């Protein structure tokens, strides 16, 4: 089906304020001359057409630009990927950007939607590294990427006790990806950013077991790792010239005779001890290893991304990613980047007093809130703050509430959304140009 854009309203025969009409074998999307709202409208139209069973579409006419093409693609995409979409010819810069968005978005959505049976912790680390190496080969130089994957008991030998603790109950060993994108090729070059992603490829909840309904989508609990991989890939495609390091903390949280238990205490590299009060609060345990390593690199800033808490999702639904940080300037830059990319982020509170709300009688901190009525997203952030020395500045925590939709709505099909890839790539650009 050919899809056209027109600025005139649809005939009322198609319904009041209809965004779609049809003429022979063509569908017409009726714009309203408001650039931001028009992109949302185009995405809705793409979703409507796809929901009606249209599997092949060709975008035709003079009105299509980068923003509209991308919006339509977002609405037309489905997890099964049983469709074909032909884009119009755009100028070279727009064509380059569109292709990069599609490639990086497809990587993120594909990883998040993939079953845990095939996407094990080690496979996640390997696939992420392969993608960044391929991006560097295409847009930079092969020698700009170095990486290593630490897996299984080697994690214990090197002091990554959080990842090991969470993953030791599974037959699929936990793994940590440490990747260095260094376009300067100077081994002493400063690090602009460290990106730390939660890569829990399946989360049963451990002995604090989830319900079947709560567990049904837990193959997506590696969404933070996927998001950061895609964001770095897009930043490279956009010409990133400064050094960035990526740390993915990957594990399966399963139940077995070897699995960690309530009351266990993890001692981290930086000396902090953490009591396990809930084995379903495992994401923060693996992220702690990544944050310690990231902090040692002395980057200009750190971003961690994780599908970390149900509390954040209760606060903002599936519609926004939640942002927690004490660094006002860095938060402002993130929101500037998000507005430019038309992606939804929302700030949640993180204050000093939250750090006192995870006290333990047996360790320095507990892995869940210990006050009668706690703010779950904020206390999770408080836990992570114990692994960033100067947590008040240069650190952003993103609780990825908008990573995945269990059911479709008028903008998105069921499954992964890819929201946040462009914003984080843009943040890297903004920081690198300062």
CATH number at residue 262: 3.40.630.10
- pLDDT at residue 388, rounded to an integer: 98
- At CB < 8 A and 24+ separation, what contacts does 15-22 make? 19/44, 19/45, 19/48, 20/45, 20/48, 20/49
319 & 379 share domain: yes
- pLDDT at residue 117, rounded to an integer: 98
83 & 120 share domain: no
118 & 85 share domain: no
Range of the domain at 64: 2-90
Q: Is residue 297 part of a domain?
A: yes
Q: What positions carry a catalytic annotation?
A: 210, 284
- pLDDT at residue 177, rounded to an integer: 99
| Cβ neighbours for 33, distance < 8 A, ≥ 6 positions apart | 7
What span, in angstroms and rounded, lies between the C-alpha atoms of 253 and 282?
8
Q: Which of 90, 124, 153 is a domain's end point? A: 90
Q: Is residue 103 part of a domain?
A: no
Largest CA distance in the chain: 72
Q: How far is CA 289 from CA 64, 117, 159, 234, 294, in A?
A: 46, 25, 8, 25, 9
- pLDDT at residue 319, rounded to an integer: 95
Q: Is residue 105 part of a domain?
A: no
Q: How many C-beta atoms lie closer than 10 Å to residue 85's C-beta?
A: 18
Q: How far is CA 87 from CA 23, 28, 70, 84, 199, in A?
A: 20, 15, 10, 10, 33
Q: Is residue 307 part of a domain?
A: yes
Token reading at 54: 């249209």
The structural domain count of the chain equals 2
Q: Which residues pair with 251 in a beta bridge?
A: 200
- pLDDT at residue 130, rounded to an integer: 98
- pLDDT at residue 175, rounded to an integer: 98
Q: Is residue 423 part of a domain?
A: yes
71 & 141 share domain: no
80 & 143 share domain: no
What span, in angstroms and rounded, lies between the C-alpha atoms of 327 and 173?
36
Strand (E) positions, 115-226? 145-151, 175-181, 191-203
52 & 182 share domain: no
Token reading at 117: 């049976």
Q: Is residue 101 part of a domain?
A: no
Q: Is residue 108 part of a domain?
A: no
Q: Is residue 375 part of a domain?
A: yes
42 & 121 share domain: no
- pLDDT at residue 77, rounded to an integer: 97
pTM: 0.97
- pLDDT at residue 96, rounded to an integer: 98
63 & 118 share domain: no
Q: Which residues pair with 162 in a beta bridge?
A: none
Q: Which residue ranges of the chain lie beneath pLDDT 70? A: none
299 & 353 share domain: yes
59 & 176 share domain: no
């Amino acid at each position: 089906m050919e899809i056209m854009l027109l600025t005139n309203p649809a005939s009322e025969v198609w319904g009041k304020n209809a965004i779609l009409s049809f003429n022979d074998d063509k569908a017409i999307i009726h714009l309203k001359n408001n650039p931001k709202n028009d992109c949302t409208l185009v995405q809705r139209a793409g979703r409507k057409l796809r929901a009606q069973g249209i599997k092949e579409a060709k975008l035709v006419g003079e009105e299509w630009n980068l923003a509209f093409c991308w919006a339509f693609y977002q609405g037309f995409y489905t997890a099964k990927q049983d469709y074909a979409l032909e884009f119009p010819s755009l100028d070279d810069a727009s064509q380059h950007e569109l292709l990069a968005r599609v490639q990086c978005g497809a990587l993120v959505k594909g990883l998040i939607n993939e079953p845990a049976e095939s996407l094990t912790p080690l496979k996640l680390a390997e696939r992420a590294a392969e993608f960044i190496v391929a991006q560097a080969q295409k847009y930079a130089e092969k020698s700009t990427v170095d990486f290593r994957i630490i897996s299984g008991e080697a994690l214990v030998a090197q002091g990554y006790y959080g990842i090991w603790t969470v993953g030791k109950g599974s037959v699929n060993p936990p793994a940590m990806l440490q990747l260095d994108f260094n376009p300067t090729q100077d081994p002493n070059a400063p690090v602009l950013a460290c990106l730390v992603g939660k890569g829990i490829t399946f989360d049963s909840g451990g002995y604090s077991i989830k319900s079947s309904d709560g567990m049904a989508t837990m193959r997506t609990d590696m969404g933070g790792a996927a998001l950061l991989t895609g964001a770095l890939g897009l930043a490279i495609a956009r010409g990133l010239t400064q050094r960035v390091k990526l740390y993915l903390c990957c594990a399966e949280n399963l139940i077995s005779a070897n699995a960690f238990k309530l009351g266990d205490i993890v001692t981290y590299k930086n000396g902090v001890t953490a009591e396990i009060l809930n084995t379903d609060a495992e994401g923060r345990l693996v992220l702690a290893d990544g944050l310690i390593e990231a902090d040692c690199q002395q980057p200009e800033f750190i971003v961690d991304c994780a599908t970390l808490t149900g509390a954040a999702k209760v606060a903002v639904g599936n519609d926004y990613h939640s942002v927690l940080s004490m660094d006002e300037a860095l938060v402002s830059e993130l929101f500037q980047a998000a507005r430019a990319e038309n992606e939804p982020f929302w700030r949640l509170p993180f204050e000093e007093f939250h750090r006192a709300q995870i006290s333990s009688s047996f360790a320095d901190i507990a892995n869940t809130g210990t006050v009668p009525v706690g703010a779950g997203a904020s206390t999770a952030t408080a836990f992570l703050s114990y692994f960033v020395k100067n947590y008040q500045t240069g650190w952003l925590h993103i609780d990825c509430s908008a990573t995945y939709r269990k059911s479709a709505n008028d903008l998105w099909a069921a499954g992964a959304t890819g929201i946040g890839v462009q914003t984080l790539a843009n943040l890297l650009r903004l920081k690198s140009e300062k």
